[in-house]
Copies of this chain bind each other. A is one copy, B any other.
Amino acid sequence: MFIHRIKTPGLAQNSYVVGSGTVAAVIDPRRDSEIYIDIARQEGVAITGIFETHRNEDLVSGAPDLARRTGAPVHHGAQLDFGYGEPAREGDSFTFGDCRLRVLETPGHTPESLSFVLDDTATDAEAVAVFTGDCLFVQSVGRTDLHPAGPQTAAEQLYASIHDKLLPLGDQALIYPAHGSGSVCGGGLAKRDDSTIGLERRHNPLLACSREDFVAAKCAEHPLHPPYFRLMEQYNKDGAPPLPHLPLPRPVGPTAFAEQMERGMQAVDLRSPEAAAGAVVPGALCIPVSLITAYAGFLLDPARPIGLIGAEVDDGGIAAAIASFSRIGFDQLGYELAGGMRSWETAGRDFTRLPSCHISELLNDETGERLVVDVRPQDEWRSGHLPQAQHVFLGDLPAAADSLPHDRELVTFCGSGHRAIIAASILADAGFDRVTCCLGSMAACKARGCELVKA
């Protein structure tokens, strides 16, 4: 028996290939599904089953495509009327090689959520592991705000699923969740990938709560809900269209790129926050590549074309951006700036700048001239922020920019500076003249031992 975890950056999503002998199953495949075929080739196995723990809302499922490519059936929860695949129910089990996958119905995150218990028939080892989907994470649990029956019901279901279905599997069981640290599908996920039922039972803070406290805690959360979730929900219910083969962004020079911007193309600058201090195409939105899946859904219109701006030296940013956009269903990639930002500069075109500041400059700001705009989500803000800061969540910033003062320097602020540069580019585009991005942000505050306010 072998188990491969495939981590998809940005989305912090985990999919798995579980195999034995000459066959394998894939759990929660992503849209760009070539990787599963490659693993099957390396392992010398055929993919004979595809399992989905739940209808995803934060990414396009690759199950329909992978089913077409492998001929393998797709199995998912019976509580949703999917447009593809077959319903699986509590007690169903699927055996391949030494592996047996047993279905547990574990609603909570969504009504149709399943977990799959993995037994090793070669060693009689029942409950070697459990694929927990968005039910149980390392040090966290799934979000409950997307359930059609409302967060209260969802949280109650989730509590029951964890305590009545998962924990009884025993401390020894490994857990393989659908997300890791950095996902929008849960808060406080540990960076560590590996865990067990026993570790979660003892140390997961939400599992130590009483049922009432658990439900209250879940109902008090404010996870991100980008508008593109609606598209994902439809895609993943009905079966998304195959990954488009053509067109991919075409490299063009500064003049053609600028013309497309005038015609409505959304320019996205993929470079580092530091580089934005040097030069930015006027009107471009800065989104570091790793944040595309989290924030493009808030800030970009999937129906309008997108143009990409990368670094002069290829750091893989364009390719990673293409993959990230396609995983969340943004397929309108029209252009990229050939030669990256430097070609804009050497063409003699004007550019703007999004200057930086460091934490000492904030702390030593005795004039009060600077207004710190903290753009982190509410849960992060509440866990600790600078006393003088004002909170505007990044997803709300385009709409809320009007309420910010024009006569002060606005210092955008987040966890370490990446979301702050997105915010800075939004504010600059909204007409604010004095915008500065705090590189280091909260990480630097903590390293310096700054005094923070909670809640």
A45-70 vs B, CB cutoff 8 Å, 1 = contact: the mask equals: 11100000000000000000100111
* Of A104-112, A120-128, A215-223, A427-435, the one with at least 4 CB within 8 A of chain B: A120-128
Picked from B37, B345, B359, B446, the residue with its CB within 8 Å of the CB of A440 is B345
Copies in the assembly, this chain:
4
Complex contacts, A278 vs chain B, CB 8 Å: 272-278, 355-356, 437, 439
- Interface size bracket, A side: 35 or more
Picked from B22, B197, B246, the residue with its CB within 8 Å of the CB of A172 is B197
A194-207 vs B, CB cutoff 8 Å, 1 = contact: the mask equals: 11111101110000
Complex contacts, A353 vs chain B, CB 8 Å: 277, 355-356
Known interface pairs A275-B278, A311-B272, A444-B347; A342-B417 also in contact (CB < 8 Å): yes
Give Cα distance in the complex from A289 to B315, angstroms.
13
**Does any Cβ of B come within 8 Å of A284's Cβ?**
no
Docked-complex contact B274 and A203, CB < 8 angstroms? no
Picked from B139, B197, B253, B439, the residue with its CB within 8 Å of the CB of A23 is B253
Closest residue of chain B to A251 (Cβ to Cβ) is B40
**Does any Cβ of B come within 8 Å of A156's Cβ?**
no
Picked from B192, B314, B445, the residue with its CB within 8 Å of the CB of A120 is B192
Docked-complex contact A194 and B3, CB < 8 angstroms? yes
Picked from B3, B41, B279, B437, the residue with its CB within 8 Å of the CB of A193 is B3
Picked from B2, B22, B276, the residue with its CB within 8 Å of the CB of A253 is B22
Docked-complex contact A69 and B274, CB < 8 angstroms? no
A residues 411-455 touching B (CB-CB < 8 Å): 416-417, 437, 439-440, 443-448
**Does any Cβ of B come within 8 Å of A396's Cβ?**
no
Looking at A194, A318, A445, which has the most chain B CB atoms within 10 Å of its CB?
A194
Closest residue of chain B to A363 (Cβ to Cβ) is B348
Complex contacts, A273 vs chain B, CB 8 Å: 278
* Of A146-154, A333-341, A376-384, the one with at least 4 CB within 8 A of chain B: A333-341
CB distance from A116 to the nearest CB of B (A): 15
Q: Enumerate chain A interface residues (CB-CB to B < 8 A).
A: 1-3, 22-23, 37, 40-47, 65, 68-71, 120, 122-125, 128-129, 139, 170-174, 190-199, 201-203, 242-243, 245-248, 250-254, 256, 271-279, 289, 311-318, 336, 338-343, 345-351, 353, 355-356, 358-360, 416-417, 437, 439-440, 443-448
> 5 tightest A-B contacts by CB?
A172-B198, A44-B339, A274-B278, A315-B315, A277-B278
A to B CB contacts below 8 Å, 23 in the list? A3-B194, A37-B248, A43-B339, A44-B343, A68-B247, A120-B203, A123-B203, A128-B192, A128-B195, A171-B196, A196-B198, A242-B246, A271-B274, A272-B278, A272-B313, A274-B277, A275-B277, A277-B356, A279-B358, A315-B316, A345-B439, A348-B447, A351-B439
Known pairs A120-B203, A311-B315 / 11 extra A-B pairs, C-beta < 8 Å: A3-B193, A23-B253, A45-B251, A47-B251, A65-B246, A71-B250, A123-B190, A172-B198, A196-B198, A242-B246, A276-B278
